[in-house]
Amino acid sequence: MLPDGLKNVKGLLLDLNGVFYVANRTLPGAQEAIAALQRSGFPYRYVTNNTTQSTDSMSLSLQEMGLSVEPSQIMTAAYAAVLHLRQMDNPKIYPLITDDAKQDFAEFTWSDTDADVIVIGDIGDDWNYRLMNRAFRLVMKGAQMIALHRGKYWQWEAGIQLDIGAFVTGLEYATDQTAIIAGKPNPFFYKMALGDLGLAAADVAMIGDDIEADVKGAQNIGLKGVLAKTGKYRPELIVKAEASPDEEITGIGAIADWFS
């Protein structure tokens, strides 16, 4: 049975990293939660700001961890960016993303000298001054920036790690331009996921470990927000975010109890 704060909910959006796994290791209750969702008949989608993998690769990685998630069940920030680009009359792009993630952008023409749009994702240790300066010059020539997200940090086995928000903000500061944010907490991203579920915002809850992108971002457009106390969760961040989750769970295994 769903908790009282979610009693009218008819569908779920679920974050992946920090909720079902951290650093390629499943979190307690993750497999049981997925099995319960599959049995429930409840509509749901996994929504993620992961920018390093294509949807197919992400599904394969999850299945290798023992998490039965199909590509069609995953909504990514990259897919939201593709939808944005399709509305921009086939622009040339400069993709600052991993080779794997570039698969999702294969329909567009790429250029590192004459791009209309710079797509910014996570490229790990490949960030350097040369790439930042190239992106800076393109924006100064008129290119727009689409950031797959602007996360501050993410959780890894060694602790929290700097995320791409620092690079996005640096380019915005240097160019006096504002990037379009494709992923969470962009309302466009959540509306895309709601459309896929076929449900209204008031009928859906978002479960995640990020108080700002997952909980507050979802609540801003009318969804319920459920905070998982795993991954990047830190008690002090709730105070800073000035957000109040509709429900809190100690781990994603709570889902199995909801649908038991």
Is residue 93 domain-shared with residue 173, that is, in the same domain?
yes
Q: Is residue 71 part of a domain?
A: no
HSE-CB at 129 with a 13 A cutoff on CA atoms is 0
Per-residue pLDDT, 236 = 82
Q: pLDDT tens across 154-165, in order? A: 777 777 788 899
Dihedral sign (CA 45, 72, 79, 157): positive
Per-residue pLDDT, 51 = 85
State the average pLDDT for the chain: 92
Q: Is residue 213 part of a domain?
A: yes
What one-character-per-residue DSSP string does 103-147 give? GGGTTS-B-SSS-SEEEE---GGG--HHHHHHHHHHHHTT-EEEE
Q: 3-state SS of the chain: helix, strand, coil percent to 5?
A: 40, 20, 40
Per-residue pLDDT, 119 = 97
Between the two ends of the chain, the Cα-to-Cα distance in Å is 7
Q: Which residues contact 43 (CB under 8 A, 6 or more apart)?
A: 10, 11, 12, 197, 198, 199
80 has pLDDT over 80: yes
> What is the Cα–Cα distance from 38 to 65, expressed in whole angstroms?
17
168 has pLDDT over 90: yes
Is residue 167 domain-shared with residue 188, that is, in the same domain?
no
Is residue 207 domain-shared with residue 248, that is, in the same domain?
yes
54 has pLDDT over 90: no
Last residue of a domain, one of 151, 181, 211: 181
Q: Is residue 55 part of a domain?
A: no
89 has pLDDT over 90: no
Is residue 137 domain-shared with residue 96, that is, in the same domain?
yes
Average pLDDT of 172-179?
A: 97
Average pLDDT of 26-30?
A: 96
Q: Is residue 140 part of a domain?
A: yes
Is residue 99 domain-shared with residue 122, that is, in the same domain?
yes
Alpha carbon separation from 65 to 20, 45, 69 (Å, rounded):
10, 18, 10
111 has pLDDT over 80: yes
Per the structure, the count of domains in the chain is 2
Q: How many CB atoms lie within 10 A of CB 239?
A: 10
Give residue for tokens 């331009």: 177
Last residue of a domain, one of 164, 181, 198: 181
Determine contact, residues 218/241, Cβ cutoff 8 Å: no
More confident residue, 84 or 253: 253
The CATH code of the domain that includes 170 is 3.40.50.1000
Residues 75-110 as b/e (b if ≥16 CB within 10 A, e otherwise) read bbbbbbbbebbeeeeebebbbbbbeebbebbeebee
Q: pLDDT tens across 234-247, in order? A: 888 777 777 899 99
Q: Is residue 172 part of a domain?
A: yes
**Banded pLDDT at 197 (limits 50, 70, 90):** very high
Q: Dmax over Cα atoms in the chain, in whole Å?
A: 57
Enclosing domain of residue 158:
89-181
Per-residue pLDDT, 18 = 93
**Banded pLDDT at 190 (limits 50, 70, 90):** very high
